[in-house]
Amino acid sequence: MNKPTEHCGYVAIVGRPNVGKSTLLNRILGVRLAITSHKAQTTRHAILGIKTFDHGQVIYVDTPGIHDRSDNAMNRYLNRTARSALNDVDLLVFVVEALRWTKEDEKVLSMIQQLEVPTILAINKVDRVDDKETLLPYLSEMSSRHAFIEIIPLSAKRGSNLESLEQRVLQSLPLNEKIFPEDQLTDRPEKFFAAEMIREQITRRYAKELPYATSVEIEKFEELTGRYRIHAVIWVEKQGQKGIIIGKNGLALKEMATHARKSMEKFFDTKVHLELWVKVKKSWSSDQAALERLGYGD
């Protein structure tokens, strides 16, 4: 039996909230697979993004940001999801922000140090550093914190130095046959991405008023001739939050639905008929049973 000659394996992208993990995954894949915003905890699920080469395959796992808060069921779920993604992977990409090191970065590193998984340190947002010489002592400090197999400064937003990261990732994976078909991009169904694109609009539009109090449930997803019909419910925790999302005369909800629909049409490459409703379920983010019903189960 011939031994495999190509590299293939699982790579978890980890880090604290808002360091650019999802932006990095999207840039690597060339598709907006993971939703993004400037608000922490935008990513709530581990998402597989599959990139296939002629000589190998990399299965990236985007994870929620690891954070200190554990005051409700949602925050605990996010940390459990991120931790579980560190298990059974072949490689970690630990993303930090250039010239910054926080308690939450330290928490992520302590989790990494408990594992015997090779780790690449990706120093993101170097495009924001005007004087690049100031990076040198930071790089030296990072190298002293852990035996990283490589430290790579990059900009996920601009795509700079991503080729170096991708090459190092692929080379670091074991020799294996490809796991997924060459044309497969992710393991998630289309219904999942429809919900995520609605939630992205909510997060971007109502970041100050509704930080973590919303979730989206797809009640109907039908593939019709030449179009998709999607019915979705936006769940909030208070009546006042419902009013904020709907807006005066329903204009805010209508505008948000239009932007979400356009994102879906681009992503699914077909026409979309989208209908949205807003409903109240008190304290759903602190209710374990409610979380599981909304898709946040372990």
What the block records as the tokens of 109 is 């590193």
Report DSSP letters for 23-52, one per residue: HHHHHHHTS--S---SSTT---S-EEEEEE
**Domain spans in the chain, listed from the N-terminal domain onward:** 7-172, 190-293
Residues 118, 124 contacting (CB under 8 angstroms): no
What pLDDT is attached to residue 37?
Answer: 47
Please report which confidence band the pLDDT of residue 27 belongs to, taking 50, 70 and 90 as the band edges: very high
pLDDT tens digits, residue range 280-291? 988 766 666 555
Percent of the chain with pLDDT strictly greater than 70: 80
Buried b (16+ CB within 10 A) or exposed e, 108-118: bbebbeeeeee
Closest CA to 219 of 238, 197, 234: 234
Q: Which CATH superfamily is domain 190-293 in?
A: K homology (KH) domain (3.30.300.20)
Q: What is the mean pLDDT of residues 231-242?
A: 91
* pLDDT tens sequence across 179-234: 999 999 998 888 988 998 998 888 888 866 665 668 888 999 999 999 999 999 99
Q: Which two tokens mark 137? A: 């002592």
- Looking at residues 126-139, what average pLDDT do you find? 93
CATH of 7-172, picked from 3.30.70.20, 3.40.50.300, 3.40.50.1820, 1.10.3720.10, is: 3.40.50.300
Average pLDDT, the chain: 85
pLDDT at 210: 62
The mean pLDDT of 119-147, rounded to a whole number, is: 95
Q: Are 250 and 256 in contact (CB under 8 A)?
A: no
Looking at residue 203, its pLDDT comes to: 83
pLDDT reading at 149 higher than 50: yes
